[in-house]
Amino acid sequence: GSANVIGGTFVAIKTVGDCVDDMVVKDPVAMKCAFGENPKRVYGSQRKTPATRMGTAAVLRDALYKSKQYMEAKERAADDPSKMPQFDLQKEALIPVLRREIPLKAHAHRADDMFTAIRIAKEFNVRLTLDHCTDGHLVAERLAKTGLPAIVGPSFGHRGKFELTNKSFITASALSNAGMKVALTTDAPVTPLHTLPLMAGMAVAAGMDEMEALKAITINAAEIVDVADRVGSLEVGKDADIVIYDGHPFAINGKAWKVLIDGQVVHSC
């Protein structure tokens, strides 16, 4: 989760299967990193680094810098195994990030944390997604100029931390209207996953274009984590993961009439 500055890799999976190994769509899809109150609260309470936002940035930069040195040393030793650096699993995990094969997913609520993440991503030329993006509506135009995607949410729930002060259903609308590619997240299990269509409906009520809200829980999400070749839209050759509603998918009284995964009906009512 977001207790650590670098939390590990993400995997995209289907929601039906007998074994998780058979449910994987792509592994890995991203690397988790976290800014803001969570890392500094967890480590600061133990009198360890990072105890401040500056410390969090320093820990991430140090890890990326050392992993970059390790990667470059491996590349130089490609023709001379005797010069190969000692294997380091933690540094290995960051090589796909440094090669831009997967993005950093930056847990960031406050505007200053988002811009710290953006500066670090530029410094190391890595891909980045802005996750939660709670203050996003306050700096929407500036964020849109970066060309980065935003994963907004969870918009439900209480403001349990100072950095959630500006939590609003307006955020997704403001970022989308400014030109950002937006996906929505419930941050399950923080908010139950089945509230995702309702969250999209609330975003529309707050000013988001209805089609953009639908894209925010389908194709945009798939594109952001590089699985749009398989899921996220109805196209020939894709996996046929389809939900058929008995009404509008954002309606509070709507029901998922049929659910298909890989073209097979897995739910019907």
Q: What per-residue confidence (pLDDT) applies to 250?
A: 94
Give domain status of residue 224, yes or no. yes
β-strands 256-261, 264-268 pairing: antiparallel
Give domain status of residue 1, yes or no. no
Residues 209 and 194 in one domain: yes
Among 145, 258, 260, 252, CA closest to 204: 252
Rounded CA-CA distance 264/19 in Å is 17
Residue carrying structure tokens 């999976």: 13
What CATH number did the domain enclosing 218 receive?
3.20.20.140
Q: What per-residue confidence (pLDDT) applies to 156?
A: 86
Instruction: Please give the model's pTM, rounded to 2 decimal places.
Output: 0.94
Residues 147 and 255 in one domain: no
- Give, to the nearest 10 degrees, the angle between helix 170-178 and helix 196-205: 70
Rounded CA-CA distance 189/58 in Å is 30
The residue segments making up the domain with residue 244 are: 239-269
Residues 17 and 40 in one domain: yes
Buried b (16+ CB within 10 A) or exposed e, 177-197: bbebbbbbbbbeeebeeebbb
Helix (H, G, I), strand (E, B) or coil at 153: coil
Residues 181 and 262 in one domain: no
What burial class does residue 93 get, using C-beta atoms within 10 Å of its C-beta: 0-12 exposed, 13-18 middle, 19+ buried?
Answer: middle
Residues 33 and 111 in one domain: yes
Residues 187 and 60 in one domain: yes
Rounded CA-CA distance 40/46 in Å is 10
Q: Identify the sign of the CA torsion 50, 54, 59, 62.
A: negative
Residue numbers of the chain with a pLDDT score lower than 50:
none
Cβ-based neighbours of 221, under 8 Å, separated by 6 or more? 151, 183, 184, 232
Residues 201 and 244 in one domain: no
Question: What is the domain count for the chain?
Answer: 2
Residue 226 half-sphere exposure toward CB, CA atoms < 13 A: 16
The token duo for 232 is: 């996220």
